[in-house]
Structure 1
Amino acid sequence: MVNDRGKIKWTSLMLPEHVEMLQQMGREIGKATPPIMDEQQLEELEQKVRYIQVGKTKASMMYRKGRNVENASGIVTGLKQSEQYLLLDTMDRLYPIRIPFDHIIDITLH
Structure 2
Amino acid sequence: MVHDRGKIKWTSLMLPEHVEMLQQMGREIGVEKAPILDEQQLEELEQKVRQIQIGTTKALIVYSSGNKVNRASGIVTGLKPAEQYLLLDTANRLYPVRIPFNRLIDISFH
Q: Does TM, scored on the shorter chain, surpass 0.5?
A: yes
4+ residue stretches of structure 1 with deviation over 6 A?
A: none
Tell me, in whole angstroms, the C-alpha distance in 2 between the residues paired with 1:77 and 1:97: 10
Find the residue that maps to 1:20 and give its secondary structure: helix
Aligned length: 101
Map 1:39-78; keep pairs closer than 5 Å: 39-78=39-78
Partner residue in 2 for 1:104: 104
Give deviations 1:20-78, integer Å, cap 9, x for gaps: 12321244235433212122111111011011011100000110011100011000011
Over aligned residues, Cα RMSD in angstroms? 2.0
What's the TM-score once normalised by structure 2's chain length?
0.80
Tell me, in whole angstroms, the C-alpha distance in 2 between the residues paired with 1:30 and 1:98: 25
Tell me, in whole angstroms, the C-alpha distance in 1 between the residues paired with 2:38 and 2:18: 40
Give unpaired runs (5+ residues) of structure 1: 1-9
Partner residue in 1 for 2:4: none
1:19 partnered with 2:19: yes
- Assess if the C-alpha contact under 8 Å between 1:88 and 1:98 holds in 2: yes
| Sequence identity percentage | 69
- Assess if the C-alpha contact under 8 Å between 1:87 and 1:96 holds in 2: yes
Q: Which moved more, 1:87-96 or 1:31-40?
A: 31-40
Residues 1:30 and 1:95: Cα distance change in structure 2 (over 3 Å): farther
Q: Which moved more, 1:34-43 or 1:62-71?
A: 34-43
Give unpaired runs (5+ residues) of structure 2: 1-7
What's the TM-score once normalised by structure 1's chain length?
0.80
